[in-house]
A = this chain, B = another copy of it.
Amino acid sequence: MKKNVETFIGCDCEYEEAQIVIFGAPFDSTTSFRPGTRFASHAIRSESFGIETYSPYQDKDLTDIRVFDAGDLELCFGNTEKALNQIQNMVSEIYQDQKTPCMIGGEHLVTLGAVREAARRYPNLHIVHFDAHTDLREDYLGEPLSHATVIRRCHDILGDGKIYSFGIRSGERCEFEWAKEHTHLTRFDFCGLAEAVRAIGGAPVYFTLDLDILDPSEFPGTGTPEAGGVTFLQLLEAIRAVGTLNIVGMDINELSPIYDPSGRSTALACKTLRELLLAVTH
């Protein structure tokens, strides 16, 4: 009798054969407003069986590619630095085996653990960042490690001009002003994405997708819903553009299933993950 193995739909190849390795990072300790993203990876795995492996948008099928689902890390709540180390170690192991990591958050801060390792391995790392929020504070209530500071911390590592943000519609005035000098930040939508893709060229890219870039009407299941976001179809198109880049790591984050009793946020996250996996695989 077989053991009860749970994976994201269609991601059941053996580890050795995999191109991409999915893992969950269920951590939300620094979330200041409404926690709950810790439940995302488990929910995405469970609910993925409500979608199909086939994408009519890309005319591709998950059964054609090779993805291994490693389950969730067991992260330590309340000790942020330790959790980031656990994430970095996981990414390091995946890189050693010549595979591409795809992390399911958790709050956005988990990105920092992955970016630390990606930047160590890929010196010219760029970041493509989809989000509703700037996440560029120097600190939050005196604390440098926070969901509200994560892109600023990434900038500490990568330096000026390497981060391309899209969809931003919430932040402090000073964050928007800081961004003008240090990053490429597009307000509200994906204007300029094609240009960014050209500018980045063949450089290694970490792609971080905060799902709250979506309009809360389509994606209510998140801690800090921000009206005025992009649509799923716009996001799909943008993901396909990003998929043409040299993606060396990626994550989707900030799904908080408990705030959406309809379950459509989780379903949308499943579909987005499917489309992302299909888009970056050639």
Interface residues of A in 154-201 (CB under 8 A from B): 168-173, 176, 187-188
Q: Give chain A interface residues in 25-61, CB to chain B under 8 Å.
A: 28-36, 38, 42, 45-46, 49-54, 56-57, 61
A220→B7 CA distance, assembly (Å): 26
Q: Is residue A15 within 8 Å, beta carbon to beta carbon, of the partner chain?
A: yes
Residues in B neighbouring A77, C-beta threshold 8 A: 29-32, 141, 143, 146
- Interface size band for A: 35 or more
Question: By CB atoms of chain B within 10 A, which of A77, A140, A141 has the most?
Answer: A77
Q: Specify which of A38, A76, A187 lies most central, judged by the most chain B CB atoms within 10 Å of its CB.
A: A76
- Could you tell me the distance in whole angstroms from the C-beta of A161 to the nearest C-beta in chain B? 22
CB pair A172 B52 closer than 8 Å: yes
Taking CB atoms, residues of chain B closer than 8 Å to A6 are 4-6
Residue of B nearest to A133 (CB): B52
Q: Which residues of B contact A56 (CB under 8 A)?
A: 168-171, 176, 187-188
Interface status of A95 (Cβ within 8 A of chain B): no
Q: Is B35's CB under 8 angstroms from A28's CB?
A: yes
Contact with B along A260-282 (1 / 0, CB 8 A): 11111001100100000000000
What is the distance, in angstroms, from A62's C-beta to the closest C-beta of chain B? 11
A141 to B69, CA, bound (A): 23
* Cα distance A140–B267 in the bound complex, in angstroms: 21
In whole angstroms, what is the CA distance A116 to B32 when docked?
25
Q: Which residue of B lies closest to A32 (CB)?
A: B77
Measured CA separation A56–B140 after assembly (Å): 20
Closest to A107 in B: B78
A92 close to chain B: CB less than 8 A:
no
Residue of B nearest to A69 (CB): B4
Q: How far is the CB of A95 from chain B (nearest CB, A)?
A: 13
Q: Are B224 and A232 in contact (CB under 8 A)?
A: no
Selected interface stretch from A123-131, A210-218, A246-254 = A210-218
> A68 in the interface, Cβ–Cβ < 8 Å?
yes
A77 to B34, CA, bound (A): 11
User: How close is A279's CB to chain B, nearest CB, in angstroms?
Assistant: 15
Q: What is the CB-to-nearest-CB distance from A190 to chain B, in angstroms, rounded to a whole number? A: 15
CB distance from A40 to the nearest CB of B (A): 13
Q: Could you give 18 example pairs across A and B, Cβ below 8 Å?
A: A2-B70, A29-B30, A30-B78, A32-B77, A34-B263, A51-B170, A52-B172, A56-B170, A61-B173, A74-B141, A79-B143, A215-B217, A215-B218, A217-B217, A220-B264, A225-B268, A259-B262, A260-B261
Q: A216-B218, A260-B261 are in contact. List 11 more A-B contacts (CB 8 A).
A: A1-B15, A4-B6, A4-B69, A35-B38, A42-B46, A50-B224, A56-B168, A82-B142, A221-B262, A228-B236, A260-B262
